[in-house]
Amino acid sequence: MLVPKLTLLLVLLHAAFGSAYRWFNWQYEVTCECDAYIAPQNEEAAAEFLKEQYPKGSHIKVVGNGHGFGNLSTCVDNSLTDKSSYIVSLTNLKHLEINKKDMTVTFGAGWDVYDLTEVLKVNNLTFSNLGVERVQNFVGAASTGTHGSGSNIGNIASQIIGLRVLDAQGHLRIINEKHNAEELKAFRVSLGALGLITEMTIKVQPTLLMKRTTKVLNATSDFSIMYNEIAQLYKEHERMTVWGPHFDWNAKTQSWDLEPTYFLSYWELTDYDGVRNCSSNYCANGCGDCKKEYFCYDDVIDAASCPPQGVCSREFYAEIEHFLPIEYFAEAATNYTYYQQSQTPRMDTPYNYLMVMQHRSLKGDDAYMSPVNTYNLDPSLSGVFGIIEIDWIQEYNNFTTLWQNQELAYEFLPKFGEAYNVRPHWNKMNPPNATYTLEKFPMLPKFLAIQERQDPKCQFVNDFLYRQLGIERCADFISM
Ligand SMILES: Cc1cc2nc3c(=O)[nH]c(=O)nc-3n(C[C@H](O)[C@H](O)[C@H](O)COP(=O)(O)OP(=O)(O)OC[C@H]3O[C@@H](n4cnc5c(N)ncnc54)[C@H](O)[C@@H]3O)c2cc1C
């Protein structure tokens, strides 16, 4: 128990210096300090908070679960500004309504992907657009275009058919397919730049059973041969994730040794419901004894993505994820791999451990800021995207190594972006280049016009959004 004198001292200190809140992302390398963490109890309280802050022009960063690799969800650090700066989480908005007639689910912004999928399962419902893990907040995941793998399925955001959003003045706007279909294209992947989304309505399906088959393949250092084989497999399997090639750090030679084998999983619809056993092996997330041939059956949720128990490693890692027309996949993946190898001599920090390439496919869409938007695609292309991910995993959490690997990761986009019409994942290490963004996201001017209406005083803007999107009217957002 605190003695009265100490309590008084703490109260005085609080009054003198105010309280502060330090925000960290999932692996603690993205951080900022703001004045407070605000978690309104409901939409009205969130609107009230925004109304109070608007005249003061306070900085406001709405966050989900901070499960990203870049500075997208960073607040304006209060050492940089005279204004107040807040992190807002809508975690308390937990209402949910299932409409089986329309096959829709409407839910508050507080729902995490895992909890939502568990409720859907109990109600014999599902959706098939899931990332590898389910640890994100649903709105946070949708807001960056989080995705799984499938040439005929879109990202998580593509199933959104309506939402409620508060602008910087606390005004509520309802956007849906019926009343404002064009604006929905801006709000599906909104990067937290268009306001506080308080509720979403998504399309769902009846339970979908899948068979997941895992195969082990031989790797070869002739990457062109290997990736052409993989590109062929993408023609044969609509839903497939390739985990490989894998490289192990060789401390003696200070280079990456190619592992002789890698594995892939593909998913097929089935009506077999005798077992649901994909979660007994977490290889959907690369955990466990993954390099072995096997199959399992499950609801698509557990067949294609991992519950939190399947998160086997939380060592630091750097990661890039790039989307490009699938027609360019084999050549691009070959060049990415050779380029990574050319970087190896510069990886001179300790604790490198494993490097995994991961490949997926995804159907293109028309969300303005979706990494798989089809607005600038040549009509001769299919509209399906290939995805190249590289993970540099450490054996020990060391910031120097993490930061060096992240610096090297930044080099891939300038190197290959133009050649292969590459768009990076918003929450995975992109170097800022607003000219490039405009080229790959032709609807950016429309997005920014809505951004201005929603946020006239640039309160939702942080350094990431200002520099990535080139929001010139917000050049002085810190002091505006
Ligand atoms: C280990 C790991 C594995 C991953 N695997 C995948 C994968 O398989 N596929 C994939 O595509 N991505 C993957 N990601 C990336 C991840 O899915 C995205 O970064 C996702 O956006 C994180 O969601 P979050 O809830 O943590 O959101 P945050 O990072 O907290 O926020 C993301 C964005 O959403 C905005 N936002 C949050 N809530 C609201 C709201 N209520 N209203 C308006 N805007 C809001 C934020 O402002 C921010 O711009 C992975 C990330 C990690 C760290």
Q: How far apart are CA 230 and CA 239, in angstroms?
A: 13
Mutate to test the pocket of ligand 1, among 143, 305, 393, 394 (most ligand atoms within 8 A of CB): 143
Taking Cα atoms as reference points, which of 214, 222, 218, 256 lies closest to residue 239?
214
Question: How far lies 47's CA from each of 42, 196, 366, 374, 416, in Å?
Answer: 9, 9, 30, 35, 43
Q: What sign results for the dihedral spanned by CA atoms 465, 468, 469, 473?
A: positive
Model pLDDT, residue 441: 98
Question: How far lies 108's CA from each of 91, 147, 198, 326, 414, in Å?
Answer: 8, 21, 6, 35, 39
Question: Per-residue pLDDT tens for 80-132?
Answer: 999 999 999 999 999 999 999 999 999 999 999 999 999 999 999 998 788 88
Q: Which amino acid is at 312?
A: C
Q: How far is the CA of 191 from the centre of ligand 1 (A)?
A: 9
Rg of the Cα atoms in the chain: 23
State whether residue 462 is helix, strand or coil: coil
Taking Cα atoms as reference points, which of 124, 194, 112, 216 lies closest to residue 156?
112
Report DSSP state, residue 365: B
CB 164 within 8 A of CB 173: yes
Model pLDDT, residue 390: 96
Q: How far is the CA of 237 from the centre of ligand 1 (A)?
A: 27
Model pLDDT, residue 279: 81
Q: How far apart are CA 240 and CA 359, in angstroms?
A: 8
Model pLDDT, residue 444: 98
CB 66 within 8 A of CB 73: yes
Please tell me the residue having the least CA distance from ligand 1 atom 35: 192
Give the H or E element holding residue 90: none
Q: What sign results for the dihedral spanned by CA atoms 292, 297, 301, 304?
A: positive
Taking Cα atoms as reference points, which of 322, 267, 270 lies closest to residue 147?
322
Model pLDDT, residue 345: 94
Mutate to test the pocket of ligand 1, among 50, 146, 454 (most ligand atoms within 8 A of CB): 146
Mean pLDDT of the chain, nearest integer: 93
Q: How far apart are CA 377 and CA 368, in angstroms?
A: 13
Q: Which atom of ligand 1 is nearest to the CA of 72?
A: 49
CB 38 within 8 A of CB 89: yes
Question: How far lies 365's CA from each of 139, 164, 204, 242, in Å?
Answer: 18, 21, 18, 23
State whether residue 384 is helix, strand or coil: strand
**Residue 452 CA, distance from chain mean position:** 24
Model pLDDT, residue 479: 86
Question: Per-residue pLDDT tens for 225-269?
Answer: 999 999 999 999 999 999 999 999 999 999 999 999 999 999 999
Q: Is 434 exposed, middle or buried (0-12, 13-18, 19+ CB in 10 A)?
A: middle
Question: How far lies 233's CA from each of 155, 213, 426, in Å?
Answer: 21, 13, 27
Model pLDDT, residue 295: 92
* C-beta of 65 in contact with ligand 1 (< 6 A): yes
Model pLDDT, residue 285: 67
Q: Which two tokens stand for residue 261?
A: 């084998």
Q: Which atom of ligand 1 is nearest to the CA of 191?
A: 49
Whole-prediction pTM value? 0.94
Question: How far lies 418's CA from each of 145, 160, 414, in Å?
Answer: 21, 30, 8
Mutate to test the pocket of ligand 1, among 23, 30, 129, 136 (most ligand atoms within 8 A of CB): 136
Residues of the chain short of pLDDT 70, as ranges, are 1-18, 284-286, 310
Model pLDDT, residue 1: 40
Q: How far is the CA of 78 from the centre of ligand 1 (A)?
A: 23
| End-to-end Cα, the chain, rounded Å | 45
Taking Cα atoms as reference points, which of 241, 251, 225, 387 lies closest to residue 319?
387
* C-beta of 286 in contact with ligand 1 (< 6 A): no
